[in-house]
Amino acid sequence: MTLDYQFPKDFWWGSAASATQTEGSTNGISGATIWDRWYKEAPNRFFEGVGPDQTSDFYHRYKEDITNMKAIGHNSFRLSISWARLIPGGKGDVNDDAVRFYNEVIDELLNQGIEPFVNLYHFDMPIELQDIGGWENREVIEAYADYAKIAFDLFGDRVKTWFTFNEPIVPVEGGYLYDFHYPNVVDARRAIQVAYNTMIAHARAVKLYHEAQDGKIGIVLNLTPSYPRSQNPADLKAAHICDLFFNRSFLDPAVLGEYPDDLIELLEEHGQLPETKVDDKDLLKNNIIDILGVNYYQPRRVKAKEHLPNPYAPFMPDWFFDNYEMPGRKMNVYRGWEIYEKGIYDIMINLKENYGNIDSFISENGMGVQNEERFIKDGRIEDDYRIDFIKEHLKWLHKAAEEGCNVKGYHLWTFMDNWSWMNAYKNRYGFFSVDLETGERTAKKSAEWIAEVSKQNGFND
Ligand code: BG6
């Protein structure tokens, strides 16, 4: 029997999560990160005052969670290692408890037939390294390279798919441009340096991996196709510059090994080029990725600037475009994000045409919903909206695969409802809900649906 949407053989079905958002148990058995510091300093900036100490306790409940993953047909799962847990302080001695914990998680996944995908950095800078400048300081690149090597040596015998960073643009935007991550700086020059140094750290890790290991290594990028309001040259230019800043400043060095010329020219023209070292260019050129994780939630819609920026105001990427709310666009009204399923296809076609058809997969896609309890029926959440959301995205992904894109899988954000940065538990994304009082996990309707899809490697319309 062939299904309407049959996916390529060995397609990865799974989900993604991050250490800070799920593990818990940092107190005393892990070093602190920027999130612990920020929460201490400004608890009121977190939704309902809930901080990173209140997670879904994966640290203690990972066996049950992995059993649940198996039950819903996962054949792969992305977790992140907490740098501050593995090496408290970010440099120096390895924490034996962390080695035990990650070994157990990896072994349990493998025992259940689930391939572990491991990411090294998901927004969680050890606080001691932030205190010496974070990604602005080259010393932190060295510390990260040491950390990466330690992780490869400890777990590389079993983990064959690695990622250096999750969404490196987010700490840049949040921490250095728009004030939604620690250290709450608003300064484009520093943001550009952070973005650049992150990619140098990334290339260092890729190099170390390829020198000593035999699996694949990549990066996870949240690609946001930038659609212009119109075909008018000014709108097209605005969309192009937006794409350069928010997508290509990571995508090009990671996949092609170099920055786009027009990005360099633009930064040069405005005196915003980052500080570099002579060897950086070769490092980037010689250490491109094997696999790309694509996080896709929503596109960007942009138009030409309506008012010219104040020439005395500090440089910002937003000098070159305005956001545009397209009339009639479909929205996830629960989260306030646009839903545009075709974006996933456009991304894949772009990768095929302009990035050597690199092996890729959807490493996050998902639908955050507030107050999901209102959809409970007979004890479980009937999340038909999430099923529709996934299905419509999968249809476009399927089309991309049919047209020859090297798309290898689909991971939902996320496996179970989790704590999320400033939004804490506001938006629920999981296949499983988590009772915040008891920790009890309950499968949502989407969990049952994905189990069937994974088993059949596809679905009928
Ligand atoms: C992704 C991140 O960008 O979006 C996750 O990788 C995050 O860490 C997810 O939780 C959802 O974001 P939010 O703000 O809706 O919880």
Cis before 20? omega within 30: no
For residue 9, pLDDT beyond 90 = yes
Collect all residues with Cβ–Cβ distance below 8 Å to 287 and sequence separation of at least 6: 203, 204, 206, 207, 210, 257
pLDDT at 342: 98
* Residue 364 among the catalytic residues: yes
CB of residue 287 inside a 6 A radius of ligand 1: no
Q: Please, which pLDDT band fits residue 406 given cuts at 50, 70 and 90?
A: very high
| Residue-level pLDDT at 1 | 74
pLDDT over 70 percentage in the chain: 100
How far is it, in rounded angstroms, from Cα 416 to Cα 295? Answer: 17
| pLDDT score of 178 | 97
Q: How confident is the model at residue 26 (pLDDT cuts 50, 70, 90)?
A: confident
pLDDT for 28: 83
Atom of ligand 1 nearest to the CA of 413: 9
Catalytic residue among 364, 382, 437, 448: 364
Residue 311 has pLDDT above 90, yes or no: no
Close Cβ partners of 437 (under 8 Å, ≥ 6 residues apart): none
Concatenate the DSSP letters of all residues of 176-234 into one string.
HTSSSSTT----HHHHHHHHHHHHHHHHHHHHHHHHH--SEEEEEEE---EEESSSSHH
**Does position 27 have pLDDT exceeding 80, yes or no?**
no
- The confidence score (pLDDT) of residue 367 equals 97
Give the separation between CA 354 and CA 256, rounded to whole angstroms: 9
Q: Which range, of 6-10, 161-165, 269-273, 334-338, averages the lowest pLDDT? A: 334-338
Mean pLDDT of all residues in 234-240: 98
Six token digits for residue 320? 């070159």
Contacts of 291 (CB under 8 A, 6+ apart): 161, 216, 217, 218, 358, 359, 360, 361, 408
Q: What is the DSSP letter of 252?
A: I
Residue 334's pLDDT band, with cuts at 50, 70 and 90, is: confident
How does strand 291-295 pair with strand 216-222? Answer: parallel
Pocket probe mutation, ligand 1, options 15, 420, 423, max atoms within 8 Å of Cβ: 420
Reported as a single tens digit per residue, the pLDDT across 36-63 is 999 999 999 999 999 999 999 999 999 9
Inform me whether the pLDDT recorded for 257 exceeds 80: yes
Tell me the C-alpha distance between 371 and 411, whole Å: 23
Average of per-residue pLDDT across 21-47: 94
Distance from Cα 318 to the centre of ligand 1, integer Å: 22
Q: Does ligand 1 come within 6 angstroms of the Cβ of 18?
A: yes
Q: Determine contact, residues 320/242, Cβ cutoff 8 Å.
A: yes
How far is C-alpha 446 from the geometric centre of its chain's CA atoms?
22
pLDDT in tens, 117-158: 999 999 999 999 999 999 999 999 999 999 999 999 999 999
Q: Is 457 in the pocket of ligand 1 (CB under 6 A)?
A: no
pLDDT of residue 226 exceeding 90, the answer is yes
pLDDT value for 308: 83
pLDDT at 211: 98
Give strand pairing partners of 77.
15, 116
Query: Is 124 close to ligand 1, i.e. is its CB under 6 Å away?
Result: no
Residue 15, classed as helix, strand or coil, is strand
Q: Which of these, 152, 257, 293, 211, lies nearest to 144 by C-alpha position?
A: 152
pLDDT, position 67: 98
Q: Which domains does the chain have, with CATH numbers?
A: 5-459 (3.20.20.80)
**Does position 293 have pLDDT exceeding 90, yes or no?**
yes
**How much distance in Å is there from the Cα of 146 to the middle of ligand 1?**
27
46-61 per-residue burial string, b: 16 or more CB within 10 A, e: under 16: beeebbbeebbebbeb
* CA-wise closest residue to 202 among 127, 137, 119: 119
Do 319 and 252 touch, CB atoms closer than 8 A? no
Q: For 59-82, write each residue's pLDDT tens digit.
A: 999 999 999 999 999 999 999 999
How close is the Cα of 446 to the center of ligand 1, in Å?
19
As a whole number, mean pLDDT of residues 253-279 equals 98
For 175-203, what is the mean pLDDT? 98
Distance 22 CA to ligand 1 centre (A): 12
Structure confidence by residue, pLDDT tens digits, 87-118: 999 999 999 999 999 999 999 999 999 999 99
Instruction: Write down the pLDDT at residue 286.
Output: 99
Greatest extent of the chain over all pairs of C-alpha atoms, in Å = 66
pLDDT band of residue 347 (cuts 50, 70, 90) is very high
